[in-house]
Structure formats: C-alpha cells, structure tokens
Structure 1
Amino acid sequence: MVLLTLIGRSRDGLPLSASTQDDEQADRNLADYQNQGKSLLKRLKDQASHMGSVESGPMVFHYLVEQDICYLALCERTFSRRLAFSYLEDIAKEFAQEYLPSVADVRRPYAFMEFETYINKARKSYQDSRARRHLTKLNDELQDVQKIMVQNIEDVLQRGENISTLDTKASHLSSMSKKYRSEARYLNLRASLAKKVAIVILLVLFILFVRYWVF
C-alpha cells in the first residue's frame, strides 16, 4: 500500500505536491514520515543513483529523481517494489508533461496541489488487486529492482548533514583563502613600495655623498 506520495524540487527540497492515504486502516501517524520525506527531498540529489529505496522502520521510501524533480512514495514493506517504481514513473511522466516548464520559477510550497487528483487516481489503480496483477505483467520491462540500492534513512539523512557541514567548511575555507590572497597582495605591494623608497633614499644619499665629499 502507498501511504504517502511527495513531489519536490530536488535542488532545494521545495515541496510541489503531495497526497496521503485516506484509508482508516492505514498508519494514522504519518506526521513523522512526512517530515522525513521533506528531509529526503533535500538529500536525494546527492545520491549516485536516480532511483532507490530508503528504509524507515516498518515503511520504505521509494524515490525517483528526474530533471531536478524528486518523486517519493512511502509504502509498506510488503508492497511490491516493482509496482512502487512503476507507480513513480507513472506520476513522474504525467507531472513532467503538465508542470515541468513551470517548476524552476516556483517560489511557494505545494504550488501544484491540484496534481493530487491524478496521484490519488494512480495510487488506487496500483493498489487494486486486479490492476496489480495486470500491471505486474505490463511492467516486466522495468529494470531489475534487485539492483536498485536500498539504504537506511538515518544513513541518508546523516550523510546529507555531513555534506552540508562540508559545504559550510568549504565555503569558509574559500572565504579565508580570498582573505589571505588579498592580504598577500597588500603585503607584496607594501614590500614593493618599500624597496622603491629604499632605492630612492640610497640614490639621494649617494648623490649627496658625491657632491659634498668628492667635490
């Protein structure tokens, strides 16, 4: 069962659209998973693969990153990974056709919440038992899901924090480097001027020596 679907801009993690399962038997405590999903939107751009799975307790986040957009589906562990990725490819194709040209200019979160209607429709079709049997046959061409990386959410979020820390340190080092280069140019200029002043003084002293002592 797909409990949560989240679409966001991967470069900055801005949520663009979302949908949650309305089934009363579904996990009623989705707040933590929603927060985890929002955090993942910012981290998954750093992953080597554009497709993958991130385990979180009894649930799994399956993700697909295409054209600076991250598509997330929170599923029960028992839900077919093949169907989960087929589902993500379905909504990714539809979302790109509808909104891709506008994504870069979006400034407010959940700007495309009207897409929730399509998400709900697609989710129901993938969760219907008869549709699932039919889709399983249709999606045999999907790449072997066994080769798609599975990670733990703590590892992904921690790695994201480490990368963020490294970016901060790198930015600080870059600023310090610019400062040192500026100071080095200033010191070199002072040294050059000092040499010129020293030469002029020596030249003047030499002229005075020649004038008053030799003649």
Structure 2
Amino acid sequence: MVKLTMIARVTDGLPLAEGLDDGREQRDLELYKQQAKSLFKKLSQGQHEASRMSIESGPYVFHYIIEARVCYLTMCDRSYPKKLAFQYLEDLKNEFEKVNHSQIETVARPYAFIKFDTFIQKTRKLYLDTQTQRNLAKLNDDLYEVQQIMTRNVQEVLGVGEKLDQVSQMSSRLSSESRVYADKAKDLNRQAFIRQWAPIAIVIGVVVVFLWLKGYIWK
C-alpha cells in the first residue's frame, strides 16, 4: 500500500506537493517524512544519485523518479509490487508536468501545489488493490521494466535510519522529562507563593474579623 507521496524540486529540495494516507496505521510517519526530506536535501546538494531508485527503510520502501529537475517519491509497504509503485509515480509525473510545468521553477513557498493532493489521492486509490484487473495488467506489462532499478538501504544513501530512530526516541524521552520538570516547577512555585502570602492573608483576615466584630459590638 502507498503510505506517503512527496514531490520536490531537485535544485533546492523545496517540497512542492504531498499526499498522505489517513494516518491511522502509521504513528511514526514523521520519521519517514524526515528521511524523504533528507533525500531531497542530498539531491539538491548535487549528489548524483540515479534518476530512478528504491530505498529500503524499516518495513517500508521509498521509490522515486527524477524528471525535469523534479523528484517524485512514494513510500510503500515492502510487499507492495515495485512495478506498480513506479507506474504510480509515472502517472503523477505526467499529470504534474502537464498542469504545473510553467510554475515549477518560479515558486518560492513550500507546498505551493497543495491542490495537487486531490489528484494524488485519486490516483493512489487506483493503486491500493494490487489484484484489480487494471493493476494486474500493469504488472504483466513488459513495456515498463523495473528489474534494473537499483535498490539500496537508507543507511547507505543517507547515513541515517537507526540514528533517526535514536533521535526520535531521545526527543520523545526529553519531551516527557520536560513535562515532569515543568509540573514540578509549577508545584514549587505554588508552594513558594503560599509560603510568601499565607501569613499576610491570615493577618488581613484577622483584621477584617476584628473590624467586623468591633462594628457589631458598637452598634
């Protein structure tokens, strides 16, 4: 199944469009998005990777194609057919170039083509079930051969993977510790406030009661 789709400009790594699944089955999506962005950054720095490649990362595989200085990337389950993944990317590439080609080099803000997500989601649905007649025909189509496309590991390509897992875990741990420390700090501040103002509040209370009693007695 297609889990993540991102389109970026190769010259500077600027994300142009993105399509996600519903997120219910993929809690660690942000980690893989960071890996995809790291790949875009590497490509923008003049790293001469192949124009078509598959990159294994944990239980998933990134597949990407580069055409006209634009990188079309998707992340799928390892079991998802490689040929369908690249056919999916080809469909996205053809439509994206047809609709947006005149603006690709000039846009300056990230996700300038956010409306393209509609086409991404529509196309993604066509590729969800690998057993449909349409997709079986594509799998049997010899016109698009993917056996020669290189498959590498994310550690090889980016020098990350386990490091990103560690960073993610550390960030989560630090965030949890920060919340504990913040709660403790609030308790200490509350106690200090009470110690500082409680005596004054008691004195004021006694004075108020005394004045009330005095006024009541002198009536």
Q: Quote the residue 1:135 is aligned against.
A: 135
Contact 1:16 1:110 in 2 (8 A): yes
For residues 147-178 of structure 1, the C-alpha deviation after alignment (integer angstroms, 9 at most, x for no partner) is: 1000111211149xxxxxxxxxxxxxxxxxxx
What displacement does 1:130 show?
4.8
Q: Are 1:50 and 2:51 counterparts?
A: yes
Q: Quote the residue 1:20 is aligned against.
A: 20
What displacement does 1:141 show?
3.4
Q: Quote the residue 2:198 is aligned against.
A: none
Counterpart residue identity of residue 9, structure 1 = R
Counterpart residue identity of residue 50, structure 1 = S
Counterpart residue identity of residue 145, structure 2 = D
Aligned counterparts of 1:47 and 1:54: Cα–Cα separation in 2: 15
Q: Quote the residue 2:33 is aligned against.
A: 34
For residues 32-54 of structure 1, the C-alpha deviation after alignment (integer angstroms, 9 at most, x for no partner) is: 00111111112246344211101
Aligned counterparts of 1:16 and 1:116: Cα–Cα separation in 2: 10
Q: Are 1:98 and 2:99 counterparts?
A: yes
Runs of 4+ in 1 over 2 A off after TM superposition: 42-49, 128-131, 141-144
Q: Which runs of 5+ in 1 are unaligned?
A: 160-215
- Mark the structure with the bigger radius of gyration: 1
1:202-213 aligned at under 5 Å gives the runs none
Seen in structure 2, the aligned counterparts of structure 1 residues 128 and 107 have a Cα distance that, compared at 3 Å, is same
- Greater helix share, structure number: 1
SS in 1 for 2:103: helix
Counterpart residue identity of residue 97, structure 2 = A
**How many aligned residue pairs are there?**
157
Counterpart residue identity of residue 150, structure 1 = T
The percentage of counterpart residues that share the same residue type is 43
RMSD: 1.8
Q: Which runs of 5+ in 2 are unaligned?
A: 161-219
Q: Are 1:59 and 2:69 counterparts?
A: no
Aligned counterparts of 1:129 and 1:154: Cα–Cα separation in 2: 29
Q: State TM-score, norm by structure 2.
A: 0.67
Aligned counterparts of 2:143 and 2:127: Cα–Cα separation in 1: 15
Q: State TM-score, norm by structure 1.
A: 0.68
SS in 1 for 2:110: coil
SS in 2 for 1:127: coil
For residues 114-150 of structure 1, the C-alpha deviation after alignment (integer angstroms, 9 at most, x for no partner) is: 000000000011113553x422314513432221000
